[in-house]
């Protein structure tokens, strides 16, 4: 695009940048080049010290620990005895010969190996039991929970040795645990633990930490931090985050144990200062030129920019945005008609929203409506009384249950009820059904006490249970008819989860797919479908009352049974 198509503000800005900023940019680039050279030299020095010197020191340290620990395999009888005892379920003491062998092994490591500053050695199995510890200067009784916490630092399949830094140890001082898995026929069954003072290791490592805000980190192959210059970070997951773009990171593997050595440091503050100064010169000059151009064109372009901003707000959905009319010229005329257009759009949207709300309220009332005249309720009461007089208890029970169901349905203004009320309504229905069916239906209801007082939409469970009985359980001829209802609370998502299971004939895969599609597209169902009592009815009510994120899901297998899952909002107060 040619310069003639650019804005006046941009033309002024470009002219001033060309004549004044170029010399400043050239000087700043020279400074930045020198700073970058110094920064690269520092990084090269740090890389050599970490990847060569420190890495070799640490690998030698780990090799010494592993070689000393490996000597336990020279004691075949000792390893065999430990393996046998570790596999027993009961606590068994080592025999005298085994205790003598393991003590001699500890003494050999303590006196003859290159490992220094040893505080204790002991063997623990994967059940948290330890065997004949060796503590030259301490008398310790290791708890099973403490031993198990050490085992947890090893990662399955527990075949790789590891280091554990413990700053709250039973020795009352910071220590290093070296955990070496002991194997029998290739399978680990116990861990040899060597406890050492942490200070010599820290001194060896931190003498290489000479750069600004340097941090030396050792992590395992799962990025779990084993050692960190900041002790509070040990045990966390390692993430390298260059938040200020000034950090450097050097990484190198340590031997074949899967450990990784990291070194993080930041650029020298003096180099950062000069770098920022160079950028400040460039940015400051640009800002000055931009401000000058804005001052020259502000009075002309301000109304157009204001109109553009309001258009962007309208595009994002803020229909309350209006343009302030600052003049009565052509731009003012455009702003006035823009405001009128937005007023008409907003009025139309409000009108459509009101119509939608009225329509939804009408649908909800229609879905809840039940034909339950009072004379039928009174007639049931009369039949119940006659059955009592004529000593027909089963008829009286059926009438009372049916009467309770009609009493529950009479108040159509209630949209929400407590779970215990809905469960009571279900029990009345099932009592009638079991009187109807000779073999009966076995049902188990598991609802914890805290759920009984929670509020859910009214009449959502009984129609589904009725549907399951009529279409799932009654056609089942070869087995006992069983049904189970459970309710639980998902506190993370603030939801109530209700599951209804039956061992009926189930639903074929084709019909289940069709039913699931209809439930997902409940809003497109015909009015005839919505008026029926069934899954579509319940799905529509839940969506209208609770929100579109709630509803029911159906899982079924032909010949096995069906499970229906209700997802409802958690309400512990009366939502009416």
Range in 231-245, 368-382, 423-437 the model is least confident about: 368-382
pLDDT in tens, 61-90: 888 888 888 989 888 888 888 888 888 876
Using pLDDT thresholds of 50, 70 and 90, give the confidence band for residue 528.
very low
In the β-sheet with 215-219, what is the strand arrangement from edge to edge? 225-228, 215-219, 259-266, 247-254
- Strands (E) across 118-242 are located at 118-125, 130-134, 162-166, 175-184, 187-197, 215-219, 225-228
Q: How far apart are CA 458 and CA 397, in angstroms?
A: 24
Q: Answer whether residue 240 shows pLDDT above 90.
A: no
pLDDT in tens, 414-439: 778 999 999 998 988 888 888 777 77
Q: Answer whether residue 526 shows pLDDT above 70.
A: no
Q: What percentage of the chain exceeds 70 in pLDDT?
A: 80
Find the distance separating the first CA and the last CA of the chain, reported in whole Å. Answer: 64
Using pLDDT thresholds of 50, 70 and 90, give the confidence band for residue 532.
very low
Range in 8-17, 318-327, 449-458 the model is least confident about: 8-17
Token duo for residue 191:
């861990």
> What are the C-alpha distances in Å from 56 to residues 21, 197, 220, 224, 252?
51, 21, 17, 22, 11
Find, among 501, 412, 485, the residue nearest to 451 by Cα: 485
Helix (H, G, I), strand (E, B) or coil at 432: helix
Q: How far apart are CA 412 and CA 404, in angstroms?
A: 15
Using pLDDT thresholds of 50, 70 and 90, give the confidence band for residue 362.
very low
75-200, which class in CATH? alpha beta
- Fold designation for 441-569: Heat Shock Protein 90 (3.30.565)
Q: What is the mean pLDDT of residues 494-505?
A: 93
Q: Answer whether residue 351 shows pLDDT above 70.
A: no
Instruction: Look at 551 and 282; give whichever has higher pLDDT.
Output: 551
pLDDT at residue number 370: 44
The answer to whether the peptide bond before residue 364 is cis (omega within 30 degrees of 0) is no
Count the neighbouring beta carbons within 10 Å of the beta carbon of residue 223: 14
């Amino acid at each position: 695009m040619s310069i003639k198509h650019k804005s006046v503000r941009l033309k002024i800005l470009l002219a001033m940048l060309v004549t004044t900023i170029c010399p400043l940019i050239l000087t700043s680039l020279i400074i930045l080049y020198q700073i970058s050279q110094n920064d690269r030299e520092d990084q090269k020095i740090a890389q050599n010290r970490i990847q060569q010197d420190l890495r070799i020191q640490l690998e030698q340290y780990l090799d010494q620990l592993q070689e000393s620990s490996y000597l336990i395999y020279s004691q075949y009888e000792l390893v065999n005895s430990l393996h046998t005892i570790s596999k027993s379920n009961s606590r068994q003491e080592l025999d005298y010969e085994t205790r003598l062998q393991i003590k001699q092994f500890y003494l050999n490591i303590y006196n003859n190996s290159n490992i220094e500053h040893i505080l204790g050695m002991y063997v623990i199995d994967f059940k948290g039991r330890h065997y004949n510890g060796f503590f030259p200067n301490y008398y310790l009784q290791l708890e099973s929970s403490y031993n198990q916490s050490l085992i947890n630092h090893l990662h399955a399949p527990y075949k790789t040795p590891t280091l554990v830094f413990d700053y709250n140890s039973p020795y009352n001082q910071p220590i290093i645990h070296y955990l070496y898995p002991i194997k029998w026929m290739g399978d680990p069954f116990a861990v040899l633990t060597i406890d050492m003072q942490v200070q010599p290791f820290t001194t060896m490592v931190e003498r290489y930490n000479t750069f600004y805000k340097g941090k030396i980190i050792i992590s395992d192959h799962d990025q779990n931090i084993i050692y960190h210059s900041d002790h509070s970070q040990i045990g966390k997951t390692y993430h390298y985050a260059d938040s200020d773009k000034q950090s450097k990171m050097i990484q190198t593997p340590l031997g074949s144990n899967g450990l990784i050595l990291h070194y993080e440091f930041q650029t020298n503050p003096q180099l950062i200062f000069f770098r920022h100064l160079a950028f400040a010169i460039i940015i400051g000059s640009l800002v000055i030129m931009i401000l000058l151009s804005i001052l020259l064109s502000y009075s002309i372009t301000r109304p157009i920019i204001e109109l553009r901003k309001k258009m962007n707000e309208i595009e994002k959905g803020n229909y309350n945005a209006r343009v302030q009319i600052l003049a009565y010229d052509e731009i003012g005329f455009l702003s006035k008609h823009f405001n009128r257009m937005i007023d008409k759009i907003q009025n139309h949207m409000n009108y459509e929203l009101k119509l939608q709300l009225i329509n939804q309220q009408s649908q909800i009332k229609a879905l809840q409506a039940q034909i339950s005249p009072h004379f039928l309720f009174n007639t049931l009461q009369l039949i119940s009384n006659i059955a009592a007089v004529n000593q027909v208890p089963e008829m009286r029970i059926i009438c009372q249950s049916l009467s309770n169901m009609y009493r529950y349905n009479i108040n159509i203004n209630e949209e929400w009820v407590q779970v215990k009320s809905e469960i009571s309504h279900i029990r009345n229905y099932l009592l009638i059904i079991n009187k109807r069916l000779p073999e009966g239906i076995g049902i188990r209801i598991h609802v914890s006490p805290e759920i009984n007082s929670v509020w859910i939409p009214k009449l959502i469970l009984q129609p589904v249970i009725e549907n399951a009985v009529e279409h799932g359980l009654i056609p089942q001829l070869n087995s006992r008819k069983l049904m189970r209802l459970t309710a639980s609370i998902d506190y993370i998502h603030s939801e109530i989860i209700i599951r209804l299971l039956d061992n009926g004939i189930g639903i074929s895969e084709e019909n289940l797919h069709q039913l699931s599609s209809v439930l997902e597209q409940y809003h497109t169902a015909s009015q005839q479908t919505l008026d029926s009592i069934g899954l579509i009815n319940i799905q529509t009510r839940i969506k209208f009352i609770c929100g579109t994120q709630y509803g029911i899901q159906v899982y079924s297998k032909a010949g096995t049974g069906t499970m229906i899952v209700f997802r409802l909002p958690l309400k512990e107060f009366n939502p009416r």
